[in-house]
Structure 1
């Protein structure tokens, strides 16, 4: 493990202590559609307070290109009804989990479990490759990165329903 990686891991722990983010997800009443707001906490709160939650299975955030994506894969593949994941909001600078997720869906993993083609600095997935393949086959990713417009997100949800 290199020094840069160890320093970044330590910085991540410090950030969690200094800037805790208590909200990570909200459950909805839908069955097929999930929304990921990446690092956009205000967007997460705005959507969670809207009637669109009746059509969403879950809405959550994603800050990291490794552990976060591992957790996302596990959640999505244990849901037997989920079909769509809408990716919106602002990608986390430095980690770029949105970029990593898009590239995972498009190109998969190399032999070292690294996401192919991403700009994320540590895109190593711990999930078993079979689980990653199941995720890639089961879920249709809707790329709306950069979108913070609630009406456009609602329109997309309604078009998928």
Structure 2
């Protein structure tokens, strides 16, 4: 009988705004933009405020621990980013050829730094429980208790994700003339640099 490795060395492999609970637990709790007291029976418990880098970190830590089978989304959404909505769409629909999360209404719904194989593994490995908006610790604790031992671990070894290396671009000189997206009548943003200017 072959015994599969369940947890990657030095797990969790990506740092973030979370608390590590029981690495053998089957459930991760994502409190989106809310700070909610953690439950030690969850594998990981923490926020995810952005729909791109936050989602990438979440996926990376999940696929590197085969014990994780459920992701509980709770707490309030991060305004504009809609990270909870985006994680639901990513799980359901995946990404298109350009890395855009299909169906997401978030501001920057792109997964660019992790390979497609990690996204597919995430979609296969876990079930997402949608409790977006719920902040009651007792309610969330009951959900953790229900799912912490549910199902066997995923029947494949952990996947270690290495970020795609990105070449540093030489950015053009910036000025208010570079703004290519209006935020309001008063401000524009240069989407390449992320800088905001008065219109």
Cα distance in 2 for residues equivalent to 1:135 and 1:97: 16
Q: Secondary structure at the match of 1:121?
A: coil
Q: Does 1:74 align with 2:68?
A: no
Distance 2:146 2:44 in 1: 17
Q: How does 1:10-159 map to 2 (within 5 A)?
A: 24-31=17-24, 32-41=26-35, 43=36, 46=37, 48=38, 52-53=39-40, 55-126=41-112, 127-159=114-146
Q: CA deviation at 1:30?
A: 4.9
Larger Rg: 2
Alpha-carbon offset, residue 61 of structure 1 = 0.6
User: How many angstroms apart in 2 are the aligned matches of 1:30 and 1:130?
Assistant: 23
- The TM-score normalised by the length of structure 2 is 0.63
Structure-1 separation of matches of 2:43 and 2:108: 29
Q: Tell me the distance in 1 between the aligned counterparts of 2:103 and 2:117.
A: 20
Structure 1 runs not aligned, ≥5 long: 1-22
CA distance in 2, matches of 1:84, 1:24: 19
Bigger drift between 127-136 and 29-38 goes to 29-38
Q: How many Å separate the matches in 2 of 1:29 and 1:77?
A: 16
| 2: CA distance, partners of 1:100 / 1:152 | 23
Whole-Å separation in 1 of the counterparts to 2:139 and 2:44: 18
Secondary structure at 2:19 match in 1: strand
Q: Shift in Å at residue 139 of structure 1?
A: 1.1
- List 4+ stretches of structure 1 deviating above 4 A: none
Matches of 2:142 and 2:85, distance apart in 1: 23
Unmatched segments (≥5 aa) in structure 2: 1-15, 150-199
Post-superposition offset of 1:155: 1.5
**Counterpart contact for 2:23–2:67, Cα < 8 Å:** no
More helix by share: 1
Q: Give the aligned length.
A: 131
SS in 2 for 1:56: coil
